[in-house]
Structure 1
Amino acid sequence: MLAVTGICLATASPAFADSDPENPEFTLNSSSECEFGGKNIKSTPWSLQRILMDQLREKATGKGVTVAVIDTGVDDSNDQLTGQMASGGKDFVGKAKDGTQDVEGHGTRVAGIIAAKPMAGTGFRGIARDAKILPIRYTGAEVGGKPKQGNSNTMAAAIDYAVQQDVDIINISSDTTKRQNPPPLAAAVKKAVDAGILVVAASGNDGADGKSRDTYPAAYDGVLAVAASDRNDERAFFSQAGDFVDIAAPGVGMVSTVPVGGQCSDDGTSFAAPYVAGVAALMMEKYPEWKTPQIVARMQETAQRPTTDPDRYLGWGVVDPIAALSDDTEPGMTPKPEAPKQAGSGQVTPMKVTMGESEAEREQRVSIYVVGAGLLLVLVTGGSGIAIRDWRRKHSARTGS
């Protein structure tokens, strides 16, 4: 049985010391303490308020799509996750054969963002509620009362297993800065990508300094690397920057399911990655004939961004689920930025973000000046009338007229 309460693994620094530099352990990209078996959050999270869930559900629900969550396990005793697991889960570090034990709580939250069922009394639900989760625990076990953590070997084994299970998407919400090339991890990732599986990975939480650095497996070729965005569709301050970043998704104040029952709110690229995985599941249901690179290309082309080109903070921008599912024209294998428009074409080219005021702000400022000048004129005119009246009264009193 799981404990009633638990601490979710920490922050930006590595969660565990690497005992073997050639076989590093991984950081779980989240940052809060959560109560297991706690209460549900009644309100709808901001990350779901930004999309029209009813409209999204009309387009797709993720039915027929399986997402492997390679993490700390997934506790399906939470009511919103009961019945959401695919058969064949596996535990590579503990004794839960099907991967449905989660003493850390991390994997359960990741799974909830993808496929938690709607439930009365809470506004939270998964992006792709009819997708199935294949729980694979590669780290975060307890054996004989002692913690047992995974590393690149167990992650590689977990990826290989997911490939054998013929999943559609693999979600990995952990990272290391230590590149593993050649095998085992790089080879496992390549095998998954070559099999047509979409591998989604968190970019990492060490980005507060704004410096670029590669993290793995996110930076491997063919992996969809996900940064975290905030409520303003800007990079969350902790989100790792780098040229490998492909796309961004909400990663601040992310509500999701926890073991035993209830929900909690947390920050991290850990929860941006499954948001993207959920959107991908919707797209795979709606566009079953599209190849994985086409799914990714359409997602990137329709993402929200201030310029035509990607950058190292948000990649191609913040994922827009409705937009990604609204264009049925078949995309190419790589994203194409909008070409600059010819002058007089009647189309608008997105402008680069500047520190100056926009045209709308300038018009608002001028309007304020006009109104202010009008009020000043009224005051001056009124004041002049009063002054003239008083002068006449005084003059009449002196002359007796």
Structure 2
Amino acid sequence: MLALLLFFFGCAVSKKIILTPKKDAAVNMLLMNAFNDDHGVTHLATINDQAFYQVDDSSFYVHANTYKAMYEVEEEQTFTVTKLEDANFILIDDFDSRAAPWHLDRIVKESLPLDGNFPYNSSGSCHTNKDLDIHTYVIDTGIDVTHPEFEGRATWLENFIDDTDTDCQSHGTHCAGLVGSKSYGACKDARLFAIKVLGCDGSGSTSSVIRGIEYAYNRHVKQVKDSVKKVKSIVSMSLGGGFSGALNAAVKATLKDPNFYFAAAAGNENNDACRTSPASVREIFTVMASDRYDKRAYFSNYGNCADIYSPGVNVVSTVPGGRTAMYSGTSMSTPVLVGVLNHYVDTYPQLNMADIKKKVLQSASKNKIIGHVGKTGNNALIYISR
């Protein structure tokens, strides 16, 4: 029996514990650092003054009470794309480019019907403020930056999940296309930056996502310092998992900078978005999905943490290899909103995240969504007003 137990313990897969220092803990930093060094605690990320650490669970459980006195603790969990799995690839030639895709048509109409028009179709119709430099970070599965729809405006930055520096899943490329591709993007001249935190299977970890956020924020800080223009940065994050205090803290830390903005998918579980991260961060845009008939998507999460609806059912956009595909999910509704957010940031550069959120919600089309769940959250649909 002893030999069997030793076999199972020896084969157990070690898990990481994410450690977030408690703000009110009366802990001497020198003692904390000494403890960390002695017990294999490693630095994960620092965003503004918010630090994150990680340690193997084998060390954590031996000294659990000490860790809990100094840190908020949670097991590392899996985060995945928030796209439905029933995606259908279509050929570019099958898409009627004479009319605007329905998702673009809808975001410039206060009410139905659609008419196939989108007035911001030309390059330069989104970023009109020459004193600004707006960067959009797609923290996802990566972007096929060679796709002709991006016209050279997409840049690969960093990979925190694997050794494949390309989008081997397609999700990130589809999302990026909804932000800023030539035919499908809400902002036709968006500058797109790929940060890969999810692998070929569409999944990643708490630590990979936090590292991706840290990278985007640190790059933003450097760009602000080096640029002669005023730099604004927007994060589009179409991923989700269970509730994570650490991930939420990472997102909130970026918003201390008044020139940093954030949007995340509400999720596709037809459940309360407050149960998931990063959707449960109240300070950001948490985006629900609607269809071309202004019906709430049956899968869309909802609740007090969900802020606004955006097109997210049967949405056409870019995928790797110069192709297009039709996907559904709050993964799609989020980058559509981020494309619209580029318009608002360009028009109202004096507004920080909290104020731009108020402006977008004030301008949204009200009480249009059929099937809006209960009295929680907003029955508001994204609308470009500039």
Q: Say whether the fold is shared (TM-score over 0.5).
A: yes
User: 2 CA distance for matches of 1:252 and 1:148?
Assistant: 19
Contact 1:310 1:317 in 2 (8 A): no
In structure 2, the CA distance between the partners of 1:74 and 1:233, relative to structure 1 (3 Å rule), is same
Residue 129 of structure 1 and its aligned partner are, at CA, apart by 1.2
In structure 2, the CA distance between the partners of 1:148 and 1:130, relative to structure 1 (3 Å rule), is closer
Residue 89 of structure 1 and its aligned partner are, at CA, apart by 1.0
Paired position in structure 2 for 1:270 = 331
Residue 287 of structure 1 and its aligned partner are, at CA, apart by 1.9
> Equivalent residue of 2:255, what SS?
helix
In structure 2, give the amino acid aligned to 1:195: D
Structure 1, residues 333-387: CA drift from partner, whole Å, max 9, x if none? Answer: xxxxxxxxxxxxxxxxxxxxxxxxxxxxxxxxxxxxxxxxxxxxxxxxxxxxxxx
> Equivalent residue of 1:111, what SS?
helix
1:169 aligns with 2:228: no
- Unmatched tracts of structure 1, length 5 or more: 1-18, 118-123, 142-146, 326-401
The equivalent position to 1:218 in structure 2, one of 258, 279, 289, is 279
Question: How many residues were matched structurally?
Answer: 285
1:201 aligns with 2:264: yes
Superposition pairs for residues 306-385 of structure 1, below 5 Å?
Answer: 306=367, 315-321=378-384, 324-325=385-386
In structure 1, give the amino acid aligned to 2:158: K
User: 2 CA distance for matches of 1:268 and 1:314?
Assistant: 18
Structure 1, residues 107-147: CA drift from partner, whole Å, max 9, x if none? Answer: 00000000002xxxxxx331111111110000114xxxxx6
Superposition pairs for residues 89-104 of structure 1, below 5 Å?
Answer: 89-96=157-164, 101-104=166-169
Contact 2:312 2:329 in 1 (8 A): yes
User: 2 CA distance for matches of 1:33 and 1:68?
Assistant: 24
**Bigger share in strand:** 2
Cα RMSD of the aligned pairs, angstroms, is 2.9
TM-score (normalised: structure 1): 0.65
User: 2 CA distance for matches of 1:257 and 1:312?
Assistant: 36
Superposition pairs for residues 79-90 of structure 1, below 5 Å?
Answer: 79-86=148-155, 89-90=157-158
User: 1 CA distance for matches of 2:150 and 2:379?
Assistant: 31
1:153 aligns with 2:217: no
> Equivalent residue of 1:164, what SS?
helix
Paired position in structure 2 for 1:357 = none
In structure 1, give the amino acid aligned to 2:103: S
Superposition pairs for residues 100-139 of structure 1, below 5 Å?
Answer: 101-117=166-182, 124-139=183-198
Contact 1:244 1:312 in 2 (8 A): no
User: 2 CA distance for matches of 1:57 and 1:290?
Assistant: 25
The equivalent position to 1:48 in structure 2, one of 104, 117, 136, is 104
User: 2 CA distance for matches of 1:311 and 1:285?
Assistant: 34
User: 1 CA distance for matches of 2:261 and 2:374?
Assistant: 22
Superposition pairs for residues 230-245 of structure 1, below 5 Å?
Answer: 230-245=291-306
- Unmatched tracts of structure 2, length 5 or more: 1-14, 17-73, 109-116, 221-231
Residue 304 of structure 1 and its aligned partner are, at CA, apart by 1.4
Contact 2:160 2:208 in 1 (8 A): yes
Structure 1, residues 260-313: CA drift from partner, whole Å, max 9, x if none? Answer: 112111110001001111111111112222222222111101111229x99766
User: 1 CA distance for matches of 2:273 and 2:355?
Assistant: 27
User: 2 CA distance for matches of 1:73 and 1:62?
Assistant: 24
Residue 82 of structure 1 and its aligned partner are, at CA, apart by 3.7
> Equivalent residue of 1:294, what SS?
helix
In structure 2, the CA distance between the partners of 1:36 and 1:260, relative to structure 1 (3 Å rule), is farther
Contact 1:227 1:247 in 2 (8 A): yes
The equivalent position to 2:348 in structure 1, one of 287, 301, 312, is 287
Paired position in structure 1 for 2:147 = 78
> Equivalent residue of 1:62, what SS?
coil
Contact 2:265 2:286 in 1 (8 A): yes
Residue 37 of structure 1 and its aligned partner are, at CA, apart by 8.1
The equivalent position to 2:362 in structure 1, one of 301, 309, 319, is 301
Contact 1:205 1:240 in 2 (8 A): yes
User: 2 CA distance for matches of 1:255 and 1:186?
Assistant: 30
The equivalent position to 2:77 in structure 1, one of 17, 21, 24, is 24
User: 1 CA distance for matches of 2:295 and 2:90?
Assistant: 31
Residue 212 of structure 1 and its aligned partner are, at CA, apart by 6.5
> Equivalent residue of 1:48, what SS?
helix
Residue 36 of structure 1 and its aligned partner are, at CA, apart by 9.1
In structure 1, give the amino acid aligned to 2:243: R
Structure 1, residues 7-40: CA drift from partner, whole Å, max 9, x if none? Answer: xxxxxxxxxxxx7771111131112345498656
Contact 1:67 1:169 in 2 (8 A): yes
Structure 1, residues 125-177: CA drift from partner, whole Å, max 9, x if none? Answer: 31111111110000114xxxxx694211100010011001116111110111x
Q: Which has the larger radius of gyration?
A: 1
User: 1 CA distance for matches of 2:328 and 2:75?
Assistant: 29
In structure 2, the CA distance between the partners of 1:39 and 1:25, relative to structure 1 (3 Å rule), is farther
In structure 2, the CA distance between the partners of 1:152 and 1:108, relative to structure 1 (3 Å rule), is same
